[in-house]
Amino acid sequence: MNIKGPLDKEVLRVLREIPGVTTEPTAFTKRRPDIVIRAGDVTHVVEVKAQRLTNAAAARQIVEYAQYLPKGTHLLLVARTTTEEARRLLEEQGIGVIDAQGNMRVEFPGLFLWTEGRLAPATRERQKEPPVKLTGKAGIAAQALLHEPQRKWQVHDLAKAADISVGLAHRILARLERENLVEVGGAGPKRTRRVENPTALLDLWVEEIRDRGVKQLRAFRLARDPRAQAKTLSRALTDAKIEHAVTGPAGAARLAPFITAIPVTDIWVADTVPLNDVAAAAHADVVQEGHNIVLRQAKGDAPLAFRTKVDDVWTADPFRLFHDLRQDPRRGREQADRLRQEVIGF
């Protein structure tokens, strides 16, 4: 089947002409579905997203919508473009995906489709997407919003909290408004935004955040108790007046007791100090293998934003911990999910 022109109109027209395909809005209480396909006692609901990129935030909103569908209903997303993280979120919840890039992930009763598509060339429409990504200074602004999701934010409030320009704060809030992630109140100078879906905002931030110019150094320091290593190192770096934040399992262990194994202590440090000097201040030896410490730096020091002192250890922000744990190839994603559930809460 070749589809040309506006994807949403053509998909709806073609599917509605198939015998057995009906739209039954009265059976769905959350919102009217685009397409309902009934085949005996099996129901498939088709959502069409043709006008914008389906990113992690949009995927999370679709997951939440699926919870309101009648039991036994299968949800299929037909989209123009999807991100890898969006496809992962949908797959975990049993939601099928077909996009115009050739990605198909459908696992329904009697139907299994799985292909990986290719990136489509840039189009004029794609160039119109909001330019502000939640990384760098904009990522810090997103963290500020996540810390106070119930707050009614004005533009200048966000600019002050994230130490960014008023213009950037406005573009961030406008983008989140288009993503349906914030609720708008008031008008003019008194216009406010409140985070309506912190879960989806966190998903979007994790998807888009990128640390620039990351440098790292491996080191070793003898420690009888690996769990006490973080406190020892944090005290040493504090005495040397080096800003830092413990992250990864060692940082999460300060907040979540389920973290038991800490083979390596990961620490973000300010990018104004050479890493060899940081290792010397920590009384650690630089090594190529057999390390139990990793020192990291990123341009702009975004990983240090909103760090807090927990049990005498400068610890990375919980959202940064969540992101960093997900990058760990060992049990990172599992630990990140537990941290999200037990500490972050959304």
Domain boundary (160, 185, 208) is at 208
Question: Where does a domain end: 86, 115, 144?
Answer: 115
CA dist 210 → 61, 81, 135, 332 (Å):
23, 21, 6, 18
Residues 180 and 244 in one domain: no
Let me know whether 92 and 138 are in one domain: no
Q: Based on the domain organization, do 18 and 57 belong to the same domain?
A: yes
User: Domain count of the chain?
Assistant: 3
User: Which of 98, 101, 97, 102 has the alpha carbon at shortest distance from 120?
Assistant: 101
Q: What is the pLDDT of residues 263-312, one digit of tens each?
A: 899 999 999 999 999 999 999 999 999 999 999 999 999 999 999 999 89
Q: Tell me, yes or no, whether 199 and 219 share the same domain.
A: no
pTM: 0.81
Same domain, 93 and 150: no
Q: Is residue 346 in some structural domain? A: no
Please give the pLDDT value at position 105. 80
Q: Is 208 helix (H, G, I), strand (E, B) or coil?
A: helix
Say yes or no: 104 and 140 in one domain: no
Domain boundary among 208, 241, 257: 208
218, 288 Cβ separation under 8 angstroms = yes
Q: What is the DSSP string of 93-162?
A: TT-EEEETTS-EEEEETTEEEEE---PPPP-TTGGGS----SSHHHHHHHHHHHH-TTS-B-HHHHHHHH
pLDDT digit string, tens, across residues 83-122: 999 999 998 888 988 888 888 887 776 666 677 776 555 4
Domain of 268 in residue numbering reads as 215-338
Residue 284 domain-assigned (yes or no): yes
CATH code of the domain containing 322: 3.30.460
Q: What is the pLDDT of residues 156-165, one digit of tens each?
A: 999 999 999 9
